[in-house]
Amino acid sequence: MTSCDEGRVAQPMGDGLYLIDTGYVRPGLAASHLVVDQGHAAFIDTGPGPAAPRLLAALDELGLARAQVDYLFLTHVHLDHAGGAGQMMQALPNARAVLHPRGAPHLVDPSKLIAGTIAVYGEAVFAQLYGELLPIPADRVLLMTDGMRLKLGARTFEFIDAPGHARHHHCPIDLDQRDVYAGDNFGICYREFDTAAGPFMLPTTTPVHFEPDVLHQTIDRLLAYRPRRIVQTHFGPVTDLDRLARDLHADLNTLVAMGKRHVAAPDRAQRIRHEMFEHFNARLDAHGYAGSLARRHEFIDEDVNLNTQGLEVWLSRQ
């Protein structure tokens, strides 16, 4: 990833792409990306509601007017990706929210989304992380089905249906720059784990739509575009894509086998969590990461917990 410019909200990633840390939970965990071309701009994912002032500050920093933002490309409606869409739509007079048809109703009327997120995190954490979830106007929503395209300046974006992590997930693909915006479908990549071997990828099997066979297919479909970079909400652009895809496929198979191995255990969630952490811990050793055990727990415990919940939901459907 391009090194950070101290003090800047919008970190330049090259070719009109900027990374904005949304400040979700901790620095370096979740990003919004801003694409600028010929005076036109689009945000890819907004982060949660409290991130909106940072995104607007990025526009100011780059000398862009609010009216120059044509689109919010929202990969899916999980709140670390789209919770701030309502605030941003209020601030951006010309923007349209570009959504998967399955996801759009949940941002137009976010009551079920709020209830589902509180069920996972609890009310106190919901309030702290996500703030107020504002509905977006239905007449400013643009639904994109598989293969549809949009222009942003001189660039063409193609949107593909991308289930596996969530059934309301799609991925925008910048056909001109060969950048794929993967949301959560190409895993998550915490840059603290970067070593001489490159980035380190974790699969995400969070509830409630995890479908391993479908996710394998989506990963392969993203790579079929032969992208130059895959741009991660968690966190930033990555290359070395063939290796990372191999790691993701292997880890998905390992996690599914883990779930099946403990499916009948009365304490299966505890067993899966323990074994999953130990698996990722061993992989970090092999990757050359020298951080302490405490640091490893700090960075991945929440993902292990969410991944375990997702595996449990998936097992209950089998």
Determine whether 8 is exposed, middle or buried from the number of CB atoms within 10 Å of its CB (0-12, 13-18, 19+): middle
> Model confidence over 36-64: pLDDT tens digits?
999 999 999 999 999 999 999 999 999 99
Please tell me the predicted confidence (pLDDT) of residue 206. Answer: 87
| Closest to 232 in 3D by CA, of 16, 8, 21 | 21
Cis status, amide bond into 208, omega within 30 of 0: yes
* Closest to 162 (Cα-Cα) out of 99, 250, 222, 236: 222
The tokens for 53 are 């002032």
Between 191 and 132, name the one with better pLDDT.
191
Residue 79 pLDDT > 60: yes
How is residue 202 annotated by DSSP?
B
What is the tens place of the pLDDT at every residue in 251-303? 999 999 999 999 999 999 999 999 999 999 999 999 999 999 999 999 999 99
Q: Give residue limits of the domains in the chain.
A: 10-241
Which pLDDT score, from 0 to 100, does residue 1 have? 57
CA distance 279 to 92: 44
Integer Rg of the chain from CA: 19
pLDDT at 205 over 90: yes
Q: DSSP state, 50?
A: G
Note the CATH number of domain 10-241.
3.60.15.10
Q: Where residue 4 falls among pLDDT bands split at 50, 70, 90? A: low
SS3 label, residue 158 = strand
- Per-residue pLDDT at 2: 47
Name residue, tokens 């915006």: 181
